[in-house]
Amino acid sequence: RRSCDLLPVLDCTFPCGYQGLIQRLMASLPKESVLLNKAVRTVHWKRPSMGERPVLVECEDGDTFPADHVIITVPLGFWKANLETFVDPPLPSRKVHAMQ
């Protein structure tokens, strides 16, 4: 048996849809840690050993935001169309290959 066959499958619905799930998750975060409705140009990431926050989010309007973590939720088509510019440095080739 494969190890993934041993994991329980969770089948659930969210009474308020995914918005309810997001609201629940965001309730546990400081308000200033989440920014919505801001177009992102590039996500710059580097190794944490460089002494500063490992991620810098650059927005289309020129604003930048340092972060420890970033959750990126974009359609696969967007990734494919913007592989060269959306993340810097580019994703490792094995991840790029997995998307194609």
72 alpha-carbon distance from chain centroid: 2
Q: What is the pLDDT along the chain (100 residues), one digit of tens a residue?
A: 444 455 455 667 777 777 887 788 888 888 888 888 889 999 998 855 556 788 999 999 999 988 888 888 888 899 889 988 999 988 888 988 888 7
What does the pLDDT read at residue 92?
87
Rg of the chain, C-alpha, whole Å: 17
* pTM (2 d.p.): 0.69
Burial letters for 3-27: b for 16+ Cβ neighbours within 10 Å, e otherwise?
eeeeeeeeeeeeeeeeeeeeeeeee
Please report the pLDDT score of residue 61 as a whole number: 95
What's the angle, vertex CA 56, arms to CA 51 and CA 60, rounded to 5? 165
The whole-number pLDDT of residue 70 equals 85
pLDDT of residue 19: 81
* Full strand arrangement of the beta sheet holding 40-45: 64-67, 55-59, 40-45, 87-88
